[in-house]
Amino acid sequence: MERIALFPGSFDPITRGHHEIINKGLGLFDKIVVGVGINAGKKTLFSVEDRLRIITELFEHEPRISVLPYQTLTVKFCKEIGANFILRGLRSGLDFEYEQSIAFANKELDESIETVFLLSSPSYSNISSTIVRDIIVNNGDYSKFVPKGFKI
């Protein structure tokens, strides 16, 4: 059976940390779907179109990665795309407690889907989309925090 993982997130915008987890995930899964969550009630800095385009451009050389938007429960989207795993990166103990709640809720909703965690490396473990947005809004140099090849 193919091992297919969903890597869900807002990606507003994708960071160097996200990029690393996706690349590490390729060693573990046959296919990875980067799922860009659409939340009508939440204001984002980047439009859905831009978020999808940026990620698609970054991985266009890698046929095992696809990029899709979704606007439903994460476990339902897994079913639609045939994913049996959810891939998540962990940066800190704080991250962990949050991720644990989400993962347990997903397990309650669909027992067949397992969440798999990989670690961000130390130098990326303090990068978040929030910090990147803050630097962008204040006209700072965000290039160290986003993947090489990232184009707004």
Site for a copy of itself, rule CB under 8 A: 3, 24, 27-28, 72-73, 75-76, 84-85, 90, 92-94, 96-98, 100-105, 107-109, 114-119, 121-123, 125-128, 131, 134-135, 138-141, 144-145
128: phi then psi, degrees, rounded to nearest 5: -135, 160
Q: Which is nearer to a copy of itself, 48 or 116 (CB)?
A: 116
**Number of C-beta neighbours around residue 4 at 10 A:** 17
Q: Using CA atoms, how far apart are residues 48 and 53, in angstroms rounded to an integer?
A: 8
Q: Which is nearer to a copy of itself, 33 or 115 (CB)?
A: 115
Q: How far is the CB of 80 from a copy of itself (least distance, A)?
A: 13
Q: How far is the CB of 93 from a copy of itself (least distance, A)?
A: 4
Q: Using CA atoms, how far apart are residues 91 and 61, in angstroms rounded to an integer?
A: 27
* HEC string for 2-66: CCEEEEEECCCCCCHHHHHHHHHHCCCCCEEEEEEECCCCCCCCCCHHHHHHHHHHHCCCCCCEE
Q: Which is nearer to a copy of itself, 47 or 72 (CB)?
A: 72
Q: How far is the CB of 73 from a copy of itself (least distance, A)?
A: 4
Q: How far is the CB of 22 from a copy of itself (least distance, A)?
A: 13
Q: Which is nearer to a copy of itself, 60 or 101 (CB)?
A: 101
